[in-house]
Amino acid sequence: MLPKNTPKDEPTVEKTIGQEVAAALKEALPALMQAIVPATIVAMEQAKSQTTHDLTMKARKATLALGEKCGICRQLVGDGKTRGCGGPWAREADGTFKLDNKGARIEDYSQFHELMVVFPNDPVAEQQFDGVQINGAHYCSSGPNHKVWVPKQNDIAAHLLNFEEDQRAQRVGRKHIRQSGSISGNGGQQVSGPTFA
């Protein structure tokens, strides 16, 4: 507090401190601006480059995902449409991964995979069966009721049919038709007759 008998022209302690602070700020302001403005510009440029970096990393992750191996079926993940199995993660219609609230990919095996019995129906053929191999990945059920995860786009059923047919042919034998002889027909025409071996 100021004493009541202080003349107005005489500077008080509070006025002199405020004037000194104002004078110091006035002198320091250009130096502060010279330090703050470049730092702000650098921070803005870093934010721009961070965005470019993030875009580059996103594109790189998408490229790597095409070559990534699926933990379910051991095929390449790819995009699930034109190449690869699609992976164990849920995808949107445009092919991007569905993310949870933490930014992690949501797992959904059934979108690109199915459970299938990879085992022959013929009990004699199952003794020789050692599974189906596709692109280096081996699929084999441990019995006729055991289902394993396989990619939805596969030809495992055709492999099983071919295997069973080959096993049956090895046991029974194949019928071969040979064209080895001719019979003369009407008007001197020769007609070949099949012979069975």
- Locate the domains of the chain by residue range: 23-65, 112-173
Higher pLDDT, 137 or 197: 137
Q: Is the pLDDT of residue 120 over 90?
A: yes
- Note the pTM of the prediction, 2 decimals: 0.53
Residue 196 is which amino acid? Answer: F
| Residue 74 burial class via C-beta count within 10 angstroms: exposed 0-12, middle 13-18, buried 19 and up | middle
Looking at per-residue confidence, does 27 or 129 come out higher? Answer: 129
Q: Can you give the pLDDT at residue 105? A: 86
35-39, 138-142, 176-180: lowest mean pLDDT where? 176-180
**What is the structure's pLDDT at 158?**
93
Structure tokens at 47: 């934010």
Tell me the sheet residues that pair with 76: 69
Report the percent of the chain where pLDDT is more than 70: 78
70-74, 89-93, 174-178: the lowest-pLDDT one: 174-178
In tens, the pLDDT along 121-138 reads: 988 888 889 999 988 899
Whether residue 2 has pLDDT greater than 70: no
pLDDT at 147 over 70: yes
How far apart CA 133 and CA 146 sit, in angstroms, is: 17
Task: State the pLDDT at residue 187.
Answer: 60
What pLDDT does residue 184 have? 57
Flag whether pLDDT at 175 surpasses 70: no
